[in-house]
Amino acid sequence: MANTNGERHAFQAEVSKLLGLMANSLYRDKEIFLRELISNASDACDKLRYAAITQPDLLGDDAALQVTITPDAKAGVLAVADNGIGMSHDELIDNLGTIARSGTEAFVKQMAEAQGGDGADEEDGQDGPAGLAAGLIGQFGVGFYSSFMVAKRVEVVTRRADEAEGWRWRSDGTGSFTIAPEADAARGTRIELHLRKEAREFLEPLRIRTVVKAYSDHVGLPIWLENEGGQKEMVNEGSALWSRPRSEIGEDQYREFYHHVAHVPGDPWHTIHLHAEGRIEYTALLFVPDTRPFDLFDPMRRHGVRLYVRRVFITDECEGLLPSYLRFVRGVVDSADLALNVSRETLQNDPILAKIRAGLVKRVLSDLAKRAKKAPEEYASFWQNFGAVLKEGLYEDAEQKDKLLPLVRFQSVQGGERWLSLDEYVEAMPEQQEAIYYISGEDPQALRRSPQIEGFGARGIDVLLMADPVDQFWLPMIGAYKEKPFRSVTQGASDLDRFAVEDEEKKTAAADAPAAVEIDKLIALVKLTLADAVKDVRTSERLTESPVCLVADEGDIDMHLERLLRQHKHEVPAQKRVLEINPGHDLTRALARMVGQKGATDALEDAAHLLMDQALILEGEPVPDPSAFTRRLSGLVSRALSE
Ligand code: ADP
């Protein structure tokens, strides 16, 4: 639709939602809008600087890239302008009409949920549901759209560096925006905020100076504050934070820089600022976040580390800079040794980049090891956020195996909520224990209730819980730690008979088990009855409480892995399992006695099926014939009751 304001476009529904939330936001620190606009302006300058490496003409006679903030107290307008790359007509529509980032989308959802609460605590900007939503704005930073926290109308005048025609975008933040051609637009982008009455404080030079200093001092290009007479004063340091000496940088500045580059909620959990000298020179300022981002497992997620060559931004999509198992790391790397005109495509195979990468990996892993040693509890919180990602390195990067394994943490059956290292596990092993026992599945709580671990607990042997899908991939590759093989407690014959049972009660229970012949007969009968449904039937040392369990035979696919493969639509040949029977269980004893007295009967055959069905239920598997199961169970119970 065309009118005097130009063509009108509707915002994507998600954006409208976000804008609604912004306009009604109770967020106290509305000043972060300025940080977001400056951040965008500095990115736009970075992009132009990069483009100008191959097309120097783009800079023309306006080569000093910069940001200018101009308050106009009379008109009530605050302008933030840059002479960066600018936006074309279509880019305006895409960039300022939709939400590109999946993280932002997730944020909108969370925030809408938070604000949809009972509305209590409206007075307080920080607590209660509305306050929670507000808190998220500050942590997350929602970019350009945060302008609408302070402005009732926003106009964007922009011209792309390689185009002659400029555009003016206008919106009051309610549902739609317009775009019209703009004569004489300067290169770059100028955001004009028509401030709400209550946000007029942002027209005061002192206020602006303070906000810029607090949030944007690290930005690597000059930020000017222009007064009404047209005089300019520089209000930030103007050099990239990473290029300054560590001793001159405070924790607050690192944190603000983190918010600028990381695009994730929260604060840094760990900061690494290193200047490598010698054969290859580079500077890295890297952060490990204290919060797990929404898109950690999203293959479309942005890369976390930006690459610069001598302060010129090259790319934030450099796959080769860090391995994918360190994809949670955020920050920048700046090298003087890469060629400025390095192409983003060939970067991946660049030998210098490979060396930088090796240096970064080494440093990140050694810093993690230090933190793990110094502050195990803090390390546990890191591990809960990113452990599943770090473990990918165990099978992707064989070279780092020896550095990665000591960093890995597990919960265990006996350890409760504690996170154990492999060293701790191995040190606590009884002398005769030769293997590192584990059980894998999806849910740690369910694993703790598994029948297969009962016999281990009774013998004082701890079992590690492997509840991340990635565990199924590294375990077979790694095989052993300090010469102790990893063994699944749901696979193969158990070697528990080598260990004494600690629990006295269980010892006696085992002692008055029925005669071996009777048990053997029972097993033979169950095997015959179940025929092809099982691979084998045998007695078990694994069980103390439960009558039965299923295990995978030695060399067969473990049961959890089979489920996982099926979930991921892999073809897995049908696996027959081994049914293990607890010889000390009352049920087994009664059945064995019955076999001894009466031989095979219908009731015993029913019982054999019921044993198998119980084992399946304990595994969380469906019973193959529920109506037969019910018939047999009712029959058995009613016989028992009428006896
Ligand atoms: P983000 O910066 O996190 O991507 P924003 O909503 O702040 O999200 O901005 C969306 C997009 O709009 C940016 O990715 C960028 O492409 C474009 N943009 C915003 N501000 C500018 C600017 N000053 N100059 C050029 N492009 C800009």
User: Which DSSP string do the residues of 279-328 spell out, in sequence order?
Assistant: SS-EEEEEEEESS--TTTT-TTPPPSEEEEETTEEEES--GGGS-GGGTT
Average pLDDT (260-286) is 91
Is the pLDDT reported for residue 225 higher than 50? yes
CA distance 601 to 147: 80
Please give the pLDDT value at position 147. Answer: 93
pLDDT at 303 over 60: yes
Give the nearest ligand 1 atom to 263 CA. 3
**Cβ count near 600 (within 10 Å):** 14
What is the 617 CA–ligand 1 centroid distance (Å)? 54
Of the two residues 148 and 13, the one the predictor is more confident about is 148
Residue 272's pLDDT is 98
Share of the chain above pLDDT 90, in %: 64
pLDDT band at 131 (very low <50, low <70, confident <90, very high): low
Task: Tell the residue number behind the tokens 């694993």, with chain if given.
Answer: 447
- Report the DSSP beta bridge partners of residue 272: 286
Minimal CA–CA distance to 89: which of 224, 22, 200, 182?
A: 182
6 pLDDT exceeds 50?
yes
| End-to-end Cα spacing for the chain | 86
Spell out the long-range contacts of 526-531 with Cβ–Cβ below 8 A and sequence spacing 24 or more: 526/579, 526/581, 526/608, 526/611, 526/612, 528/600, 529/604, 529/605, 529/608, 529/609, 530/579, 530/608, 530/609, 530/612
Q: What spacing in Å lies between the alpha carbon of 68 and ligand 1's midpoint?
A: 17
pLDDT value at position 301?
A: 66
| Interval between CA 298 and ligand 1 midpoint (Å) | 22
Per-residue pLDDT for 435 more than 60? yes
Phi/psi at 137 (5° precision): -60, -45
- In SS3 terms, 569-631 reads as CCCCCCCCEEEEECCCCHHHHHHHHHHHHHCCCHHHHHHHHHHHHHHHHHCCCCCCCHHHHHH
Confirm or reject: Cβ of 523 under 6 Å from ligand 1.
no
In sequence order, what DSSP letters do the residues of 235-287 get, joined into one string?
Answer: -S--S-GGGS-GGG--HHHHHHHHHHHH-SSS-EEEEEEEEE-SSS-EEEEEE
Atom of ligand 1 nearest to the CA of 82: 23
Q: Which domains does the chain have, with CATH numbers?
A: 7-236 (3.30.565.10), 242-374 (3.30.230.80), 401-498 (3.40.50.11260), 504-642 (1.20.120.790)
Tell me: the pLDDT tens digits for 492-523?
Answer: 887 787 787 766 555 545 555 567 888 999 99
Q: Please, are residues 144 and 34 in contact by the beta-carbon 8 Å criterion?
A: no
- pLDDT score recorded for residue 627: 96
Neighbours of 280 (CB within 10 A): 17
Q: What is the DSSP string of 46-81?
A: HHHHHHHHH-GGGGTT--S--EEEEEETTTTEEEEE
Question: For 588-617, how does the pLDDT look when each residue is reduced to its tens digit (9 = 90+)?
Answer: 999 999 998 888 888 899 999 999 999 999
Give the residue, 415 or 132, on which the prediction is more confident.
415
Ligand 1 contact, 142 CB (< 6 A) = no
Q: Which of 34, 40, 91 to mutate to test the pocket of ligand 1 (most atoms within 8 A of CB)?
A: 40
* Residue 43 φ then ψ, to 5°: -60, -40
What is d(CA 305, CA 389) in angstroms, rounded to the nearest whole number? 16
**CA distances in angstroms from 310 to 52, 223, 253, 283, 369, listed in the order given:** 14, 20, 21, 10, 31
Report pLDDT for 243.
92
Q: Return the bridge partners of 313, or none.
A: 308
- Cβ of 66 closer than 6 Å to ligand 1, yes or no, is no
pLDDT at 16: 87
Per-residue model confidence (pLDDT) at position 203: 97
- Alpha carbon nearest to ligand 1 atom 7, residue: 143
Q: Residue 101: pLDDT above 80?
A: no
Contact yes or no for 9/179 (Cβ under 8 A): yes
pLDDT (mean) for 441-451: 93
The tokens of 227 are what?
């007064």
Confidence of residue 2 (pLDDT cuts 50, 70, 90): very low
Q: Tell me whether strands 176-182 and 2-3 are parallel, antiparallel or unpaired.
A: unpaired
- For residue range 194-212, what is the model confidence (pLDDT) as tens digits? 999 999 999 999 999 999 9
Q: How far is the CA of 592 from the centre of ligand 1 (A)?
A: 75
Mean pLDDT to the nearest integer, 41-57: 93
**Token pair in block for residue 400:** 């780092």
Query: Could you write out the DSSP letters of every residue in 147-208?
Result: GGGTEEEEEEEEE-TT-S-EEEEEE-SSSEEEEEEETTPPSEEEEEEEE-GGGGGGGSHHHH
CB of 48 shorter than 6 A to ligand 1: no
Q: Kindly give the distance from the C-alpha atom of residue 314 to the centroid of ligand 1, in angstroms, as a whole number.
A: 17
Which residue in 302, 265, 296, 270 sits closest to 285, CA to CA?
270
Rounded to whole angstroms, the Cα distance separating 568 from 540 reads 32
138 band by pLDDT with thresholds 50, 70 and 90: low
Other CB atoms within 10 A of residue 345 CB: 7
- Per-residue pLDDT, averaged over 163-179, amounts to 95
- Distance from residue 266's CA to the centre of ligand 1 (Å): 21
Torsion of CA 93, 96, 100, 102, to 10 degrees: -140
Q: 432 or 200: which carries more pLDDT confidence?
A: 200
pLDDT above 50 (res 323): yes
The pLDDT, as a whole number, for residue 114 is 66
Q: How far, in Å, are 85, 148, 379, 444 from residue 409 at the CA level? A: 46, 45, 9, 14
Buried b (16+ CB within 10 A) or exposed e, 412-428: bbbbeeebbbbebbeee
State the distance from the centre of ligand 1 to the C-alpha of 263, rounded, in angstroms. Answer: 13
Which tokens sit at 318? 């450099």
